[in-house]
Amino acid sequence: MAKSSQVETRRWWAFPLFHALALLVLASGLRVGLVAAFQPDGLGWAELGSTLLRGWWVDVVVTAVVVSPLAWWCAWRRQPWTGAARALLVGGVGLAWFVQAFLFISEGYFFDEFLSRFNTVAIDYLIYPTEVVTNLWESYPLVRLILGCAVVAGAVTWGSLRWFGPVVEAGPGRWRRVSAWPGAALVLGGSLAALDLKFSRERVVNELAMNGAVSGLSAAWSRNLPYDVFYATLPRDQAYAVAREALGRQGGEFSAPPPPPEPPGGPDEAWWEAARASLQRRIPGDPNRPQLNVCVLLEESLGSEFFGALGRKTKKGKPDTLTPRMDRLMLEEGLVFDHVYADGNRTIRGFEGVFSSFPPLPGDSILARDRTENVETLARVLKRDGYQSLFLYGGHGTFDFIKSYVVPNGWDRLIEQGDFEKPVFTTAWGVSDEDLYNRGLEEMRALHQSGQPFLVSFMTVSNHLPFSYPAGRIAEDPAARSRKHAVKYADWALGDFFEKAKKEAFWQDTVFVVVADHGARVYGSQTIPLKSYEIPFVVLGPAAVPQARRVSELGCQLDVAPTLLGLIGRPYDSLFFGRDLLREGSGPGRVLMHHNRSIGIYEAERLVVFGLNQQTAAWQGGLKGQELAPLSALDAAAEATARQGMALFRVADDLYLQRRYRVSPRTLAPVAAAAP
């Protein structure tokens, strides 16, 4: 009898144990495969072993947690597994394995694209099933992947039932059995708190040691983190003093003196208002300058790496380009800023940087947050000066919260995918670039005829997986689904737009800006691999660029709006964090940036990165043609850069959370009418 009970005792845990071991084998196999494919050059055996061991322990913990519900059910049940109960067990286990197999495959593809485990990009994309499913269908062999997942799920489920099918254990000890596995999983889960998964200064190594479930859940949980709790910062009084000094170097006259000391019980409404006013500036200009039209073309994933005019070369070092039409415009007619960087690697980061000149806070972009109905934008600045405005987006306005950002914050209208009746071509993400540009030319023609100056903004979607575009525009076959070909099409469409725009009456009176929302992909060893963030920033149009020239001043997307407004030359009120790259004496170049849950600042050849749990790391070196070297400790220059970054990020977080990133109407100065 004892022997029978022993066998039954062994068998109740044998079923969940089989699934746990199978899950652990697949997770470990994925990790080994990722390490083999993506480990950085020069990774030593000690660091490789540490990566695998740390990652294996995370897999053990995750496996125990995932299998706990099944173990609990097996330990609790008293009745035989027959009829509906058996059908529910088979269906539940089979579905769970199908989902798990699909996640493993998806994680492999995701790592190939982003060199990262599941992060906020993966979480955000789950919100938009239409675009994402269409993109997956066109980009990957989805049918074969689904069939493969079904085969894995069926095989594991059948094998577990065939050899380790659960039985009912007789006798006492039920509560002990029920609590054993989940209790162990809880203890194991607690051990993760003591495991350092950011043990390496090489970002990719840390990603290889991570687990997709852990990183994905962390990203979902930490979308809105209290900045001063999780990130290195300065006391509030010091932060505002440092930020005011930094912003003051960028020009303009402050609207108010520094705020008073922070009240003992914390800031009240009067203090917050004084703090906002202390950062608002009146940027000088000539009110009699003409109100030039403005056209901003925000380009999907069009990083500097594709442009011959920005130094693209073949692997053998020979000059190369994927953008011949833009190269010609840049070299012959453009004001080219060749040392400018994106503030993140998502479109919505490009939005907040280019249009709001706002630092990329940790967590989500302000577009995805709940207090963005009243923030400062380029459109608001120009509207206060009598401009009309329009935004054209190739996709659906609900994607990436674009509509909820554009409509309340200064643009009069948003034209999105549903407003194109007969587009020439559509992708998984929306209408083609040429459809967007041709509609924009029509709208600009009508706005110009009204006699009122205008701002027209574009956001393209063609240069994105699955890299599809209409045939006949470039020599390359669209069926190849190549990023390089999509870049060539984006260049063709831009060239076509400018060729047509030059024939319009508004060409002579319009400032055109071409800037990327972010680079094509993230690569590099730093926690924030800034080298891969380099983007084009080009100004065209005879009204602002009488002759071609190149500017190598260091800048970022926050500097686009102030530089553009400086070219127009009219006075305006500003809370922008960026600076006019053409203004002498505006201080040293600066880049504020974001990647996953890390934020950073680059200035004076020092990159300082702030991570969760108030972690700080630093690198030194130039950005052109060299790799940054890690600093074991912050030197004096890095300390100064870190102090400025901590201040700017904390102040930006305050202004946003208090709904005060908006020029106060009470302190606005009048703008004289433009000369006729």
DSSP assignment of 39-94: PPTT--HHHHHHHHHHHHHHHHHHHHHHHHHHHHHHHH--S-S-HHHHHHHHHHHH
Domain region containing 166:
2-221
Q: Secondary structure of 229-257 in the HEC alphabet?
A: HHCCCCCHHHHHHHHHHHHHCCCCEECCC
- For residue 25, pLDDT over 70 is answered with yes
How many other β-carbons are positioned within 10 Å of the β-carbon of residue 664?
15
Is 289 found in the same domain as 217?
Answer: no
Angle at 477 between CA 476 and CA 481, to 5 degrees: 105
Query: 178-187, 276-285, 392-401, 431-440 — which is least confidently predicted?
Result: 178-187
What is the crossing angle of helices 212-221 and 83-114, to 10°?
A: 80
Closest CA to 601 of 613, 619, 587: 619
Closest CA to 595 of 34, 121, 216: 121
User: And the tokens for 661?
Assistant: 């990133």
Closest CA to 54 of 203, 210, 217: 210
573-592 pLDDT, tens digit each: 999 999 999 998 777 899 99
Report if residue 675 sits inside a domain: no
Say which amino acid occupies 636: A
Say which amino acid occupies 328: R
For the chain, percent of residues with pLDDT exceeding 90: 58
Whole-angstrom distance, CA of residue 138 vs CA of residue 427: 9
Tokens 């990165």 sit on residue? 609
201-212 pLDDT, tens digit each: 677 888 888 888
* DSSP helix/strand/coil, 455: strand
Which among 186, 221, 256 is the end of a domain? 221
Closest CA to 168 of 15, 326, 317: 15
Closest CA to 354 of 568, 498, 563: 563
Whole-angstrom distance, CA of residue 393 vs CA of residue 380: 19
Confidence of residue 545 (pLDDT cuts 50, 70, 90): very high
Query: What's the longest Cα–Cα distance across the chain?
Result: 104
Is 638 found in the same domain as 504?
Answer: yes
Average pLDDT over residues 56-84: 78
Residue 535's DSSP bridge partners are 340
Confidence of residue 193 (pLDDT cuts 50, 70, 90): low
Report if residue 609 sits inside a domain: yes
271-321 pLDDT, tens digit each: 999 999 999 999 999 999 999 999 999 999 999 999 999 999 988 889 999
Whole-angstrom distance, CA of residue 65 vs CA of residue 60: 9
Is 372 found in the same domain as 300?
Answer: yes
- For residue 396, pLDDT over 90 is answered with yes
Query: Could you tell me if 554 and 339 are in contact, meaning their C-beta atoms sit under 8 angstroms apart?
Result: yes
Is 117 found in the same domain as 32?
Answer: yes
Q: What is the pLDDT of residue 5?
A: 41
- For residue 124, pLDDT over 80 is answered with no
Is 256 found in the same domain as 212?
Answer: no
Q: What is the pLDDT of residue 308?
A: 96
Closest CA to 72 of 191, 159, 213, 186: 186
Return the CATH number at 277: 3.40.720.10
Q: Which residue has the higher pLDDT, 104 or 85?
A: 104
Beta-strand ranges (E) seen in 325-474 are 335-341, 388-393, 413-415, 454-459
Report if residue 230 sits inside a domain: no
**How are beta strands 454-459 and 572-574 bridged, if at all?**
unpaired
Report if residue 653 sits inside a domain: yes
Average pLDDT over residues 456-484: 94
Closest CA to 497 of 544, 435, 579, 427: 435
Q: What is the pLDDT of residue 300?
A: 96
Question: CB-based burial of residue 282 (10 Å sphere; 0-12 exposed, 13-18 middle, 19+ buried)?
Answer: middle
Q: What is the pLDDT of residue 375?
A: 97
Report if residue 672 sits inside a domain: no
- For residue 162, pLDDT over 70 is answered with yes
Which among 163, 198, 221 is the end of a domain? 221
Is 302 found in the same domain as 199?
Answer: no
Is 120 found in the same domain as 96?
Answer: yes
- For residue 57, pLDDT over 90 is answered with no
- For residue 431, pLDDT over 60 is answered with yes
Closest CA to 163 of 57, 275, 45, 15: 15
Question: CB-based burial of residue 352 (10 Å sphere; 0-12 exposed, 13-18 middle, 19+ buried)?
Answer: buried
Average pLDDT over residues 136-160: 86
- For residue 656, pLDDT over 90 is answered with yes
Is 197 found in the same domain as 264?
Answer: no
- For residue 447, pLDDT over 80 is answered with yes
Tokens 């001063």 sit on residue? 228
Query: Could you tell me if 485 and 467 are in contact, meaning their C-beta atoms sit under 8 angstroms apart?
Result: yes
Report if residue 674 sits inside a domain: no
Confidence of residue 340 (pLDDT cuts 50, 70, 90): very high
Whole-angstrom distance, CA of residue 175 vs CA of residue 112: 45
Q: Which residues contact 71 (CB under 8 A, 6 or more apart)?
A: 13, 16, 180, 181, 182
- For residue 544, pLDDT over 90 is answered with yes
Report if residue 227 sits inside a domain: no
Whole-angstrom distance, CA of residue 327 vs CA of residue 333: 10
Confidence of residue 648 (pLDDT cuts 50, 70, 90): very high
Closest CA to 536 of 573, 494, 486: 494
Burial readout 396-427 (b: 16 or more C-beta within 10 A, e: otherwise): bbebbbbbbbbeebbbbebbbbeebeebebbb
Query: Could you tell me if 51 and 139 are in contact, meaning their C-beta atoms sit under 8 angstroms apart?
Result: no
Is 179 found in the same domain as 31?
Answer: yes
Is 533 found in the same domain as 428?
Answer: yes
Alpha helices, H only, 310-410: 324-333, 347-354, 378-383, 402-406
Closest CA to 114 of 519, 481, 489: 519
Report if residue 228 sits inside a domain: no
Q: Which residues contact 403 (CB under 8 A, 6 or more apart)?
A: 397, 414, 416
Task: Establish how many alpha carbons lie within 13 A of residue 322's alpha carbon, considering only the half-sphere containing its beta carbon.
Answer: 18
In eight-state DSSP terms, residue 300 is T
Is 401 found in the same domain as 254?
Answer: yes
Q: Which of 65-74, 109-118, 335-344, 585-594 is predicted most confidently?
A: 335-344
pTM of the model: 0.76
Is 126 found in the same domain as 269?
Answer: no
The tally of domains found in the chain comes to 2
Which among 171, 196, 221 is the end of a domain? 221
Query: Could you tell me if 359 and 529 are in contact, meaning their C-beta atoms sit under 8 angstroms apart?
Result: no
